[in-house]
Amino acid sequence: MPFWFRVKHYLVGRPLSSEMAIHERIPKWKALAVLSSDALSSVAYATEEVLIPLAIFGITAVSWSIPIALAIAGLLIIVTASYRQTITSYPAGGGAYTVAKENLGTNAGLIAAAALLIDYILTVSVSIASGVENIVSAFPHLNSYKEGLGSIIIIVIALFNLRGVRESASIFAVPTYLFIFSFLVLIAVGAWKIVTGIVPPAAPVIHEVYPAVPLFLLLRAFSSGCAALTGIEAISNGVPVFRDPSTKNAKTTMLWMSTILGSLFLGITLLSHVYGIVPKEGETAVSLLARAVFGKQTFYYIVQASTAMILVLAANTSFADFPRLSSLLAKDRFLPRQMASQGDRLVFSNGILGLSLGAIALIILFKGTTHHLIPLYAVGVFLSFTLSQAGMVVHHLREKQKGWIKSLCLNFLGAIATGVVLIVIASTKFIHGAWMVIVLIPILVLFFKQINHHYLWIAKRLSFATQPLSLNAKRVKHTAIVPISGIHPGVLDALRYAQSISEDVRACYVELSAEATERMKEQWDKSARDIPLVILKSPFRSVIQPLLEYIDDVRQTTHGDFITVVIPEFITPKWYHNFLHNQTALFLRASLRFKKETIVTSVRYHLS
């Protein structure tokens, strides 16, 4: 087995047969870890994103965090109920892209797909950046290595996902449940200390009078906190990964996820308010709260470690959904067809690699800072939410299945609510970075359409209707050209092959040295005098260009149907031996790729 395949099998495991696909499906408790880690991880930074704009206005403005958190929790309930309807109607997955395309048209589907793909890349970069920041909060001396740490973590997660969904789910389940447990303990112990009077509250839970704060600031805090809803659509996108009955299991898992997410978000926001937590540079709100509750004791580090792990694992949700959505787009011919191919481990490997490169680029570009990435984050999420819910409204009006009126009202409410939030987010975060996403989405849609146009053009050009096949075709006339650099067994094999396919065989030798050319002629007369040897002058010492010019000359003089270029190659026993040779054959094949009526073939001579 070649060295590269041995390395690949060591890193990602041995190939799985197609029949094993059914066994790669996962139960609900594992799916919660794989598909909900993104949504659950937002608890680690959503409260902080609500507090930051309020704290800038003044400490008293922080009291608005509770009403804002309640509004976000209400929105979570609406969106969750709406997406449970989507799971029922579209059990094959695909989420917003499939729903919008089938009910609102191709353009709406492509807009949703572009928004989701951007969101998935941002999910990885935001989650990893936030996880690294939590690590840095506990170990400040690592601050200058944030981008490097983030990039390494993305590469490691990508390798785990290349091993397959079931295997990555088993690895990532423990950290997810550790995070849920540690935050429940944090909320319970923090609440107990307030109730028993061990820690005096810094502020009441409910204020009789809330301070006057500009509406725009409240809307900005609300839009920032809506980051808590990112990732909740992942389950509706990934229904096929569930064990049967997949639809029922997906709906149950979504209910679990939303209940846990809402409880943790409200609990952390409430405790942060009562404990008087105000975010500061270099330490996250979760770190400040955990330190206020536990001090710098063991459980503080457990909370920080579990937070860092869930934020890192949040990226895993995107690694499950980005490749799947990319494969759907590729099957519909809106992305390169390579994105639709499953790798050795029954995962969409090319999608995983593309997602990794995009996320690493963002980590480096924004210097691994979560607060710089968040403004880009929620626009695409709520755009896909809105299109998905609007598509479901049209679906119910068209299908009118049992109980459709109730479902219609629910999805209509979801479309209105997420649409309003989308407008709020776009307006309040536009100058802070949201404009990048707003500009990028139509560019991506145009990119999808150009790819689709290319594939349609290719299909038309290759169809039998435009180029009918004649079974009584005339005999093909062609000239065989064999470029050589000397005489060895591989060259002789190539010449014999050329003689077997054509009556007009010509060997071409590019002269770089007059002395070498004379020696070459002497050897040729001894070994292959029956075949014409053409000497090509090369005053500028180029090998490729004289050959290309000669091939063009032959085409003009022979008027044949084809020219076959037979390239002799020798294959070394070890792959790394190739670095010691100039790879002229490789460059020649690349140069001939776009020449019409030119066939290129290699005759390989294996060295033992």
**DSSP letter at 141?**
G
Contact in structure between 568 and 499 (CB atoms under 8 Å): no
pLDDT at 604 over 80: yes
For residues 476 and 218, which has the higher predicted lDDT (pLDDT)?
218
580-587 long-range contacts, CB within 8 A, separation 24+:
584/485, 584/543, 584/544, 587/544
Q: How many residues does the chain have?
A: 608
pLDDT at 224 over 60: yes
Q: Write a three-state SS string for 495-537.
A: HHHHHHHCCEEEEEEEECCHHHHHHHHHHHHHHCCCCCEEEEE
> Per mean pLDDT, which of 180-189, 346-355, 535-544 is the most reliable?
180-189
Q: Which amino acid is at 316?
A: N
CA pair distance 83, 385, nearest whole angstrom = 9
Q: Residue holding tokens 């009910």? A: 103
Return the CATH architecture of domain 478-606: 3-Layer(aba) Sandwich (3.40)
> Per mean pLDDT, which of 90-94, 158-162, 279-283 is the most reliable?
158-162
CA pair distance 443, 189, nearest whole angstrom = 49
For the stretch 387-413, what's the b/e string if a residue is b when 16 or more beta carbons lie within 10 angstroms of its beta carbon?
bbbbbbbbbbeeeeeeeeeebbebbbb
Q: How many CA atoms lie within 13 A of 77 on its CB side?
A: 7
Q: What is the pLDDT of residues 409-427, one digit of tens each?
A: 888 888 888 888 888 888 8
How high does pLDDT run on average in the chain? Answer: 82
CA pair distance 528, 253, nearest whole angstrom = 74
pLDDT at 50 over 80: yes
Q: What is the pLDDT of residues 451-462, one digit of tens each?
A: 999 888 887 776
According to DSSP, the residues that pair with 47 across neighbouring strands are none
Q: What is the pLDDT of residue 23?
A: 45
| Dihedral Cα 131, 134, 138, 144, nearest 10 deg | 70
Q: What is the pLDDT of residues 292-330, one digit of tens each?
A: 999 888 899 899 888 878 877 777 778 878 888 888 898
Q: What is the pLDDT of residue 559?
A: 76
Ranges of each domain in the chain: 23-455, 478-606
Q: Which amino acid is at 135?
A: I
Q: What is the pLDDT of residues 545-571, one digit of tens each?
A: 888 888 888 888 887 778 899 999 888
| Dihedral Cα 105, 108, 112, 114, nearest 10 deg | 110
Contact in structure between 568 and 484 (CB atoms under 8 Å): yes
The two three-digit tokens of residue 125, written as one number? 């970069």
Q: How many CA atoms lie within 13 A of 58 on its CB side?
A: 7
CA pair distance 161, 322, nearest whole angstrom = 12
According to DSSP, the residues that pair with 478 across neighbouring strands are 562
Task: Tell me which of 3.40.50.1980, 1.20.1740.10, 1.20.1560.10, 3.30.110.40 is the CATH number of domain 23-455.
Answer: 1.20.1740.10
